[in-house]
A and B are shown apart, each in its own frame.
Chain A
Amino acid sequence: MEAKELLFLFIAIVTIASAGLVAFSNKLIHSAFALMATFVGFAALYVFLSADFLAVTQIVVYVGGILILILFGVMMTHRIYDTTLKTIHNPLAMGIISAAALAVILGLVIYRSPWAATVDKPFVPTTSIIGAEILTNYLLPFELVSVLLLGVLIGAVFLARTEEHKK
């Protein structure tokens, strides 16, 4: 086994383990920090997949943005120092049934699908390619997404503000 593969195995295990922690941790704040580990693990996997730009984006957006948002959510919906606050759980059984079914399906799909032949291509920095693509072939989705972001910005502010004048 090469070092690269060992590293991959290690990252995969860390990622899956922290994802399991997200799912099964009793304390919400633990789940949040485990989620951060998962995100970082994913970023590392992206590097393995020679997606340099996306790995950085993953760190910046997920860890720097979404995770902070989630932490805010956790803290603002609980008393702020109450790290011992337990999440209340649903019965595990129904989750397990669904998960098992899904596992079977995905396993079948992964092992029985006739995957296309692997394309072996050398690593090239993707940032400039992505920039060119976004402004040419993916221009319409790009514009739509910018409108969507504007809507989200306004919508989120509107939803979150306290409506003092009503009270």
Chain B
Amino acid sequence: MISLQSYLIISAVVFILGILTILYKKNAVGILMGVELILNSVNLNFLAFSKYIDAHINGQLVAIFIIILAASEAAVALAIILNLYRDRANIDVTQVDQMKN
């Protein structure tokens, strides 16, 4: 029998890896990947709770909305990244700090 905790551990590990990706990479697309990892780990949590605790499948429904939001987020983020690239010829987020000061 696979326990709830094992799913939660997988989810936590992927979440931490997603955070690491966001903090470690300078590339905007890389950061976007990290965000996707985090969203997936959250989804996994929802599904696990839906399976083990909830009598109904509310967790799955929330997960569907999260997938939709993730898709929207990716589309907008990529549009912004493309604009940024067109403007500056690279997508290094550490150099995007015009609004400082």
A positions within 8 Å CB-CB of B: 4-5, 8, 12, 15-16, 19-20, 22-24, 28, 31-32, 35, 38-39, 42, 45-46, 48-51, 53-54, 57-58, 61-62, 65-66, 69-70, 72-74, 76-77, 87-90, 92, 94-96, 98-99, 102-103, 106-107, 110-111, 115-116, 118-119, 121, 126, 129-130, 133-134, 138, 141, 145, 148-149, 152-153, 155-157, 159-160, 162
**Contact status B63-A69, CB under 8 Å:** no
**Contact status B19-A102, CB under 8 Å:** yes
**Contact status B34-A23, CB under 8 Å:** yes
Of the residues B24, B43, B55, contact of A92 by C-beta under 8 Å: B24
Assign chain B's interface to a size class: 35 or more
**Contact status B78-A116, CB under 8 Å:** no
Q: Which of B47-72 contact A (CB under 8 A)?
A: 47-48, 50-55, 57, 60-61, 63-65, 67-72
How many Å from the CB of B94 to the closest CB on chain A?
7
Knowing that A126-B57, A160-B83 are A-B contacts, what are 7 other residue pairs whose CB atoms are under 8 Å apart, sorted by A's residue number?
A: A20-B17, A32-B33, A49-B44, A54-B47, A58-B43, A90-B25, A95-B23
B positions within 8 Å CB-CB of A: 2, 4-10, 12-21, 23-30, 32-34, 36-37, 40, 43-44, 47-48, 50-55, 57, 60-61, 63-65, 67-72, 74-76, 78-83, 85-86, 90-92, 94
The distance in angstroms between the C-alpha atoms of A33 and B44, with both chains bound, is 20
The A interface is mostly helix, strand or loop, or mixed, namely helix
Which chain B positions have C-beta within 8 A of A107? 12
**Contact status B5-A28, CB under 8 Å:** no
Which chain A positions have C-beta within 8 A of B91? 77
Which chain A positions have C-beta within 8 A of B82? 73, 76-77, 159-160
* A-B contacts, CB under 8 A, total: 218
Which one of B27, B28, B34, B83 has the highest number of Cβ atoms from chain A below 10 Å of its Cβ? B27
- In the complex formed, the residue of B with least CB distance to A8 is B2
**Contact status B16-A133, CB under 8 Å:** no
How many Å from the CB of B2 to the closest CB on chain A?
5
Of the residues B23, B36, B57, contact of A130 by C-beta under 8 Å: B57
